[in-house]
Structure 1
Amino acid sequence: MHSKSKIIMVTVASVILGLWAIVTIIPLYWMIIGSVQDTTLSATYKPQMIPSIWSVAPFERFFSKTSAWRWLFNSVFISAVLTATNVFFGSLAGYAFAKLKFPGSKTVFWVLLSTMMIPAQVTLIPLYVLIINVFNLGDTYTAIILPGAVSVGNIFLMKQYMSSLPTSLIHAARIDACSEFGIFWKVILPLAKPGLAVLAIFTFVTSWNDFFWPFLITSSDEMRTIQVGLASFVFAESTDYGAIMAGATVGALPMMILFFSLQRYFLQGITIGAVKG
């Protein structure tokens, strides 16, 4: 009787999850279908879920009417730089908080963690004024990258991961007269590759999908990322649904490829911060 009720519960849960997955996938499916059919079919009252006429014209219009290649370059460049800075500085700070003992380390760590409780919207205006009026960096790569060069969340993630690494290896390296940075570079980083991979993937995805800060800090078309460019294209070409969906597909495709090729690292990211130090 117990096994039968368990089977029923598993079946019901599977059905619910399956239905929820279908509901979640429908917008993504419609975006892709809308990008490979004529605009008139995309905007009809009864849209065709399986298009009768396939066309790449929406992609041609999207790339011809916009600076899409420049937007893609900006997104790749900014996401790559932010990933590199977060991996380096996040792992460096995580190693310091996890394995080094210095005065006030716990206080500094908890102060950093407390900043995660402050909504980003609260600091948005001071940050904008600082970047624009004080440093005069508006509409530049530096303005987009600098505020996100390293995040407290990534520091916390690496601190939790590096707390699980054996301290005996660090003591052995110190006996061999290895410098602290040498220990970090030659001993800690090779052992922390799984954690660094998760950190890099999540940072790249977050940076690629970021919209509000690049939208706020950029003013010229050539400095826009693909997400900001899509928003401006929507306002400029509000009736060209096919081209809009083609642009959305172009912006989402790299992340879909990244997810399906590296999905085991995404799953690791769910539990990587739960290791016991």
Structure 2
Amino acid sequence: MTNRDIDLYLRRVNQGGGLVAHRLRLAARYALMLLIAAVMLGPFIWLLYLSLRMDGKVYDWPTSIRVFSLESYSTVLREFPIGTAFKNSVIVAVVTVFLTVIVASLAAYPLARYDFYGRNVVFLGILSTLMVPFQLYLIPLFMLTTNTLHLGNTLTGAVLPFIASVFGIYLIKQFYSSVPRDMEEAARVDGASELRVWWQVMFPLTKPAVATLSIFTFVGSWSSFLWPLIVLGDDQKQTLPVALAMLTGSFVERTSFLAAGSVIAVAPVIVFFLLFQRWFLGGMTIGAVKG
């Protein structure tokens, strides 16, 4: 065997060892991702299992497929106003997302594209409100909503506090700051008004930021408990989180009923995220690194 043959043999061994090491690293990476996915999905899968288990033995291994049924869902929808609460939550969440996106985009546009005196001071003042906890201005907000605006016990009153999103203004401002000025300057040369420049040129470019803001706003509005509990006194106008709290008191001994109500509450959030996930990561990245 010549030296050349030995070199070729050693090279093949090294290449094979590198390939094996690469495959081992890839397998370890996938195993770690599967473990993280199991940890994240585990509670929801367990909740779904509890909602389908009708024999009450939720901690025992099922002996037959007959112990699984959709009866819990039909009972909750039939004997409890969960459907009305679900509809109210959909209305509040969808309207909140729409108004939040519009208000945040309109507020962020001049902060990002106009050079005016005190712009940074205004922006820092807006950001500083993030340090104020919601509970601190809860009572003044309630008095303003009910006594001044007369929106108590209305879905409009439930939407009002959430449409001015400081996080949304910050996120979309960061996106606007990353867009070159050539496009809007060309639109102004063509005679477009400032409102038209914003609506037809700038706003369509913000899909990643809008998707990210929409997801956070939808989840926050959908899961909001304290404000709807205070401002909505009529049971027919309560949102789903408040209705679930009432469901806990009514069916405390039936775990499957509580689990069914929880699945009904969680499912729309998952669906909403899946619809916007393609833009979600891009929006978070832009908001984090641009400035």
* TM-score where L is the length of structure 1: 0.87
Counterpart Cα distance in 1 of 2:64 and 2:281? 32
* Partner secondary structure for residue 49 of structure 2: helix
Counterpart Cα distance in 2 of 1:10 and 1:121? 47
Counterpart Cα distance in 2 of 1:189 and 1:203? 18
Trace 1:230-245 onto structure 2 (pairs within 5 A): 230-245=244-259
Counterpart Cα distance in 2 of 1:116 and 1:215? 23
Distance 1:98 1:183, change over 3 A: same
Q: Which runs of 4+ in 1 moved over 6 A?
A: 1-13
1:161 and 1:275 in contact (8 A); partners too: no
What letter matches 2:49 in structure 1?
A: I
Counterpart Cα distance in 2 of 1:87 and 1:207? 13
1:154 and 1:199 in contact (8 A); partners too: yes
Aligned to 2:47: 31
Work out which of the residue numbers 165, 173, 179 in structure 2 matches 1:151.
165
Question: Could you tell me the percent identity over the aligned residues?
Answer: 34
Counterpart Cα distance in 2 of 1:216 and 1:96? 35
2:92 and 2:159 in contact (8 A); partners too: yes
User: Aligned-residue CA RMSD in angstroms?
Assistant: 2.6
Work out which of the residue numbers 186, 192, 210 in structure 2 matches 1:196.
210
Structure 1: segments with no counterpart, 5+ residues = none
1:83 and 1:200 in contact (8 A); partners too: yes
Q: Deviations over 1:134-159 (max 9, x none)?
A: 43322211211111112111000100
Counterpart Cα distance in 2 of 1:222 and 1:151? 28
1:184 is the counterpart of 2:189: no
Counterpart Cα distance in 2 of 1:49 and 1:115? 56
Q: Which has the larger radius of gyration?
A: 2
Aligned positions, number:
275
1:144 and 1:213 in contact (8 A); partners too: yes
Distance 1:168 1:115, change over 3 A: same
Counterpart Cα distance in 1 of 2:19 and 2:164? 50
Q: Deviations over 1:137-193 (max 9, x none)?
A: 222112111111121110001000011111122222222232111111121112223
Using the TM superposition, give the Cα deviation of residue 50 of structure 1 relative to its aligned residue in structure 2, in angstroms: 8.6
Counterpart Cα distance in 2 of 1:262 and 1:123? 32
Work out which of the residue numbers 66, 70, 91 in structure 2 matches 1:56.
70
1:98 and 1:160 in contact (8 A); partners too: yes
Aligned to 1:173: 187
2:100 and 2:168 in contact (8 A); partners too: yes
Aligned to 1:88: 102
Distance 1:49 1:13, change over 3 A: farther
Using the TM superposition, give the Cα deviation of residue 58 of structure 1 relative to its aligned residue in structure 2, in angstroms: 0.3
1:226 is the counterpart of 2:250: no
* TM-score where L is the length of structure 2: 0.84
Q: Deviations over 1:62-118 (max 9, x none)?
A: 001111221111111111111111111111111111001223222111100011122
Aligned to 2:272: 258
Distance 1:230 1:39, change over 3 A: farther
2:207 and 2:279 in contact (8 A); partners too: no
Counterpart Cα distance in 2 of 1:187 and 1:222? 42
Counterpart Cα distance in 2 of 1:248 and 1:204? 17
Structure 2: segments with no counterpart, 5+ residues = 1-16
